[in-house]
Chains A and B, each alone.
Chain A
Amino acid sequence: MKLRANLVIGGALFVLAIFVGLLAPWLAHTDPVMDANLMNAEEPPSWTWWFGTDGQGRDIYSRVLYGARVSLTVGIVSQLINSVIGVGLGLSAGYWGGWWDDVVNALTNLMLAIPSLIFALAIMAVLGPGLTSLLIALGLTNWSFTCRIARASALSLKSQGYVQAATVLGYGDLRIMITQLLPNMLGPIIVIGTLGMGSAVLSEAALSFLGLGVRPPYPSWGSMLSEARDQITTAPWLSVFPGLAIFLTVLGLNLLGDGLRDILDPQSRSRRT
């Protein structure tokens, strides 16, 4: 298999983001919340303050590192919830068909009709701000594409010889779904999941920017942007670095998703079977 540039660069950016998030306590220069010191407020980037400091004298570099934790947690966990819901509904709807399929279809169309960020906003408004609410809101609102793909795959896979053979061999429905259908649709599901993680990182930033996400003073890239809004002309580094972090992470996830699509492509897959 030829290593593709998008796969390598995307994978590297994603791994870097995870690495940064995990090792934040060791990589950071200061505590992102406690080490406020008005003596060095709004310092521009320098050898001492790599990314500069904010209005309360906190080190932007350290805050960006810790911010990765929030963004990635939200990205990964909420997308996992979406994937589980989407696969669960889509797979069973495609395999069973009938009224259950109608119900799932109606639900999916509903989700597709409402922009997911608006839906998430509404959920956040009910649950109140905070990390848990973010995970729930974003985890419940972005499963429709996964569901569509899982349903379509199940529909086409269920007429495959090995699925019928499994029925003849006494496999129950659940066993067929898990052992015969799911592994054969995993490629596209992973691709969509990767792309979905990128959009969840963006949504987290948007919701935190609106003050609905992670509460200050704990840093998230979105909330840092939000706080930096007033100083965008006087201290642009306050917005540039968290913005860049969001950009690189989302870019990385999108490249990774594209790269995975290339290698997990159903076309190249069916040639083997």
Chain B
Amino acid sequence: MTGPPLIEVEDLRIDLDDGTRRVAAAEGISFRIDRGETFGLVGESGCGKSITALALIGLLRQPLSIGGGVIRFEGQEIQHLSAARQRELRGNRIAMIFQEPMTALNPVSPVGRQIAEMFVLHKGKSWREANQLAVEALASVRVPAPERRVKDYPHQLSGGMRQRVMIAIALACGPDLLIADEPTTALDVTVQAEIIELMRNLCAERGTAILMISHDLGLVANVCRRVAVMYAGRIVEERGSADIFRAPSHPYTQGLVASLPRLGSRAALGRTRLKEIAGVVPAITNFPDGCRFNPRCAQATDICRVVAPPTDSLEAGGFVRCYHHA
């Protein structure tokens, strides 16, 4: 594909200002997502996945802020767009769904109305047309009897149905990028698989790129063509999904892969968490010097404890941030 990538993040730094001092909650974040591509962001809790996603849609709020780097959407720097222009992008060109389908819908508004609002807001439709389109949108996420369901309130729907409604809302305006932040963690395993499948199919049909965020490397690798692994605010490895499983480069990724059930087994889709690596993730205010993984790394040497490793390009594509990578 020619032209600029859909989204391009270069050396992004996100500051956390706790009133007395400024620490980098994430830094040196670089990645790009092309049109229609699927890209995954994986890492343990608190490593900075959600704040990276919020930065992409211009919604970092105090105490968080962008401390450096650029984010380009179709070549345009998002940070320099006016608030109104950023708002036009949100929901319309870049949509996002969250972990909690229970709370992400307005409890006192029928779901059809909440879908229709997107057409009114972003496409300038009349409420009449929008309500009609809402029924179609609900049908497209395979909610049975959509003409009746549009009148339902969120509490009348199951968790899986609500997440379908969220997907319908997110995809209503035909966005170019769908950010899915732990979209299925709150659902049970069989429903999880259905929702992921639905999301993937709809996005593939429409050419919508996906940025999928999760703890679960197996799940992400299953959905995404490329995966970036984050650790303590930095991307430590970015590869094609298949490569990462076959030959993980970074010691942390190796730990992750080793902790997973074999790729292809049902459990790989399930709820296996990244937890078998010894040690704990350092607190944001207490990142170690040098490579942030060094206290937990078996291969660490003196240099690892002093200077952060630069990124190293891999022959097969992608990069890794480690002095002694495989």
Residue numbers of A with Cβ under 8 A of B are 160-162, 164-172, 175, 179-180, 183-184, 186, 272-273
Contacts and interface: CB of A to CB of B under 8 A. Distances in A.
Given A161-B100, A170-B92, A272 B107 contact: yes
Interface of B: 57, 59, 87-92, 95-96, 98, 100, 102-109, 117-118, 121-122, 154-155, 166, 169-170
B113 to A, nearest CB: 9
B90 A169 contact: yes
- Which one of B90, B96, B103, B106 has the highest number of Cβ atoms from chain A below 10 Å of its Cβ? B106
Given A161-B100, A170-B91, A273-B155, A175 B107 contact: no
Contacts of A166: 106
A180 B92 CA distance: 19
A179 B116 CA distance: 13
Residue of A168, A175, A179, A272 with highest tally of chain B CB at under 10 A:
A168
Nearest to B103: A161
B96 A168 contact: yes
Given A160-B103, A161-B100, A165-B98, A170 B108 contact: no
A160 B100 CA distance: 11
Nearest to A271: B155
Contacts, number: 66
Given A175-B121, A273-B155, A169 B106 contact: no
A183 B107 CA distance: 9
A162 B103 contact: yes
Nearest to B96: A168
A169 B91 contact: yes
Contact of B57 (A162, A168, A179, A180): A168
Nearest to A186: B108
Contact of B95 (A169, A175, A180, A186): A169
A168 B105 contact: no
12 contacts: A161-B102, A168-B91, A169-B90, A169-B91, A170-B91, A170-B92, A170-B122, A171-B117, A175-B121, A184-B107, A272-B155, A273-B107
Given A170-B89, A175-B121, A180 B106 contact: yes
A207 B90 CA distance: 53
Contacts of A169: 90-91, 95-96, 118, 121, 169-170
Main SS of chain A's interface residues? helix
A166 B154 CA distance: 15
Given A170-B87, A179-B109, 12 more contacts: A160-B103, A161-B104, A162-B106, A165-B105, A168-B59, A168-B91, A170-B89, A175-B117, A183-B106, A184-B106, A184-B107, A186-B108
A3 to B, nearest CB: 23
A221 B92 CA distance: 58
Contacts of A272: 107, 155
Contacts of B91: 168-171
Contacts of A179: 106, 109, 117
A192 B10 CA distance: 53
B51 to A, nearest CB: 14
Contact of A165 (B92, B104, B121, B122): B104
B49 to A, nearest CB: 15
A220 B236 CA distance: 79
A168 B104 CA distance: 11
Interface centre among A166, A169, A170, A175 (most CB of B within 10 A): A169
Contacts of B92: 170
Contacts of A161: 98, 100, 102-104
A186 B107 CA distance: 13
A167 B107 contact: no
B103 to A, nearest CB: 3
Given A161-B98, A175-B121, A273-B155, A170 B107 contact: no
Nearest to A187: B108
B108 A183 contact: yes
Given A169-B95, A170-B121, A162 B105 contact: yes
Nearest to B153: A272
A167 B106 CA distance: 13
Nearest to A270: B107
